[in-house]
Amino acid sequence: MGRSERSNELGAEASDESPGRSRQEPARRGRRVLVVEWRMPSRERFAGALEDAGFDVTTCPGPSGPGYECIGGRGMPCPLVSDTDVVVLDLRLESDEMGLGAPAWELALTYRGAGKPLVVLSGESDPVSLLREPGVEILPRRPEPRTLIEAVRRVLAESSGPATGPGTDDHP
């Protein structure tokens, strides 16, 4: 199965490095997952595993230089999250590494404020206590693919009840 590229809602052509890269062919629609991870190998690994499980995946590297700001970190709605069922977010993005712009925890609060279930990938020093609430699953950074898939399914089930179809256990 080939991969299709699409333009994100901002009108920019999506790619490996730009927000909004869709990894799924338009004809196959499962539950929609936004993966926000600045390390491309991890982003691709997570997206591939979720796709293989039947999810429709969009990836985003998070805030990028030079200002390390993004729309979602400036109090405006993130255009990528509006059509998303769940967000997978690494709490250590490039903006955190640089100490500039929108930190990942601020994006997490933005996504939760939009009512989106959230799977947080966290290290020991991340501020996860702010996020311990229903609809949020916290995993160690770089989880095994199966662990990530199960966490995504759990937060989706918590937020909307049992689901069927692509991206669920009822549909391989």
For the stretch 95-124, pLDDT in tens is 888 888 888 888 888 888 889 999 999 877
Amino acid at 95: S
pLDDT at residue 128, rounded to an integer: 62
pLDDT tens profile 13-51: 333 444 444 444 443 458 999 999 999 999 999 999 999
pLDDT tens profile 145-169: 999 999 999 999 988 754 444 444 4
pTM score, whole prediction: 0.74
In sequence order, what DSSP letters do the residues of 153-166 get, joined into one string? HHHHHHHHS---ST
Q: How far apart are CA 127 and CA 69, in angstroms?
A: 19
pLDDT at residue 158, rounded to an integer: 87
